[in-house]
């Protein structure tokens, strides 16, 4: 059931350039920019020998720098989204944040709580079938230094996913008058395909177990 606030949110997309061609070009541009951002981040942090074997590449992803590159390649979608909105739809980034162009304190708090609870619940639910988490080989002092930067990076990464897959895509599709199962279901399938990528899933899983420092001294 659509609420008044949702209708206002969808109406923001109707005020911009909203043809199917523009949406298709925007979708392709988002995908290309994501791939380019991932390549730039990984090339910037990885020495040449990392690319020689899958094992070496996987080991590079397990480092703090590799995790940061993985997450920031997704967080870059904030910039990509701003580009496609201005270039193809001729509207502001704020139009995908909320019906009034602003995320209220209550909505932000609810989003943060959901973002905290869902990964924890999913992590525990997949323990019987997934890999057993192990404590990171990192001293408590180093973990404390990394915690706040990684918390900020994860917030950027998670909010970028939500802005694209729970904001931009449903908003555009709903503004075209499509049925609710389309504007809700299609972005959900795209999100599942996106997060099902092996490399991304691997890095994201390691990031979820980052708060397990070793109590041993280095």
pLDDT interval class at 215 (50, 70, 90): very low
- DSSP letter for 95, please: G
- The per-residue pLDDT for 48 is 59
The pLDDT value recorded for residue 131 is 59
How far CA 152 is from CA of 22, 83, 89, 148, 194, in Å, comes to: 32, 22, 29, 6, 22
Query: Between these two residues, 172 and 138, which has the higher pLDDT value?
Result: 172
Per-residue pLDDT, 82: 94
pLDDT (mean) for 133-159: 75
Positive or negative torsion for Cα 119, 124, 125, 126: positive
Report the predicted TM-score, pTM, of the whole model to 2 decimal places: 0.75
Give the whole-angstrom CA distance, residue 32 versus residue 50.
23
Q: What percent of the chain has pLDDT over 90?
A: 15
Q: Dig out the tokens for 24 from the structure.
A: 């298709």
pLDDT in tens, 21-71: 999 999 999 999 988 887 777 777 666 556 666 676 667 666 777 777 778
The whole-number average pLDDT for the span 93-103 is 79
Q: What is the pLDDT of residues 184-210, one digit of tens each?
A: 899 988 888 877 654 454 444 444 445
Read off φ and ψ for residue 100, nearest 5 degrees.
Answer: -110, 15
Of residues 100 and 30, which shows the higher confidence score? 30
CA gap 67, 56 in Å, rounded? 14
Q: How far apart are CA 130 and CA 97, in angstroms?
A: 34
Please state, in angstroms and rounded to a whole number, the distance separating the CA atoms of residues 147 and 185. Answer: 35
């Amino acid at each position: 059931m659509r609420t008044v606030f949702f209708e206002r949110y969808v109406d923001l997309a109707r005020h911009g350039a909203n043809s199917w061609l523009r949406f298709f070009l925007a979708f392709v541009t988002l995908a290309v920019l994501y791939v380019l951002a991932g390549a730039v981040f990984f090339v910037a942090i990885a020495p040449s020998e990392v690319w020689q074997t899958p094992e070496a590449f996987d080991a590079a992803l397990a480092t703090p720098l590799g995790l940061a590159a993985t997450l920031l390649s997704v967080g870059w979608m904030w910039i990509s989204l701003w580009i496609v909105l201005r270039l193809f739809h001729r509207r502001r980034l704020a139009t995908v944040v909320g019906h009034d162009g602003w995320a209220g304190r209550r909505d932000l708090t609810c989003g943060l709580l959901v973002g905290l609870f869902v990964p924890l619940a999913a992590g525990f639910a997949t323990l019987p079938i997934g890999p057993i988490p192990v404590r990171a080989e990192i001293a408590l002092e180093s973990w404390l230094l990394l915690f706040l930067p990684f918390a900020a990076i994860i917030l950027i990464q998670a909010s970028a996913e939500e802005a694209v897959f729970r904001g931009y895509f449903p908003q555009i599709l709903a503004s075209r008058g499509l049925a609710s199962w389309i504007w809700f279901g299609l972005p959900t399938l795209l999100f599942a395909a996106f997060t099902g990528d092996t490399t991304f899933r691997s890095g994201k899983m390691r990031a979820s177990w980052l708060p397990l420092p070793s109590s041993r001294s280095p």
